[in-house]
Amino acid sequence: MLNLPATLTQDVAQICLAELRSGLGQEPERIVVNGASLQRFDSSALAVLLELRRECARIGKQFAVQGLPARLRDLATLYGIDGLLAGS
């Protein structure tokens, strides 16, 4: 399981994405991203999740998200991408 940090805003999105990408190879066929630690975030968090989803598809792994804060799930729904974050 990959864990999102407590803060995921535009300022740290690229660093966070790089760290999460580096962990993809050690994960099993189904990559689960845990967002339970997220406390401070903006729409960049969704961009990071979507990029991870694309990367998982590219390497042939399933992708799921769990534990996203309600506000972030609401934002994903507003943007129409909530279906892309399976398991959230």
Q: Can you list the domains of the chain with their CATH numbers?
A: 2-84 (3.30.750.24)
Helix (H) or strand (E) holding 66: strand 62-66
For residue 35, pLDDT beyond 80: yes
pTM given for the model = 0.92
- Helix residue spans in 23-62 (DSSP H): 44-58
Whether 4 and 37 have beta carbons less than 8 Å apart is answered as yes
CA distances from 43 to 11, 13, 46 (A): 12, 10, 5
Whole-number Å distance between alpha carbons of 35 and 42? 13
pLDDT, tens digit, 9 for 90 and up, residues 53-71 = 999 999 999 999 999 999 9
Higher pLDDT, 28 or 12: 12
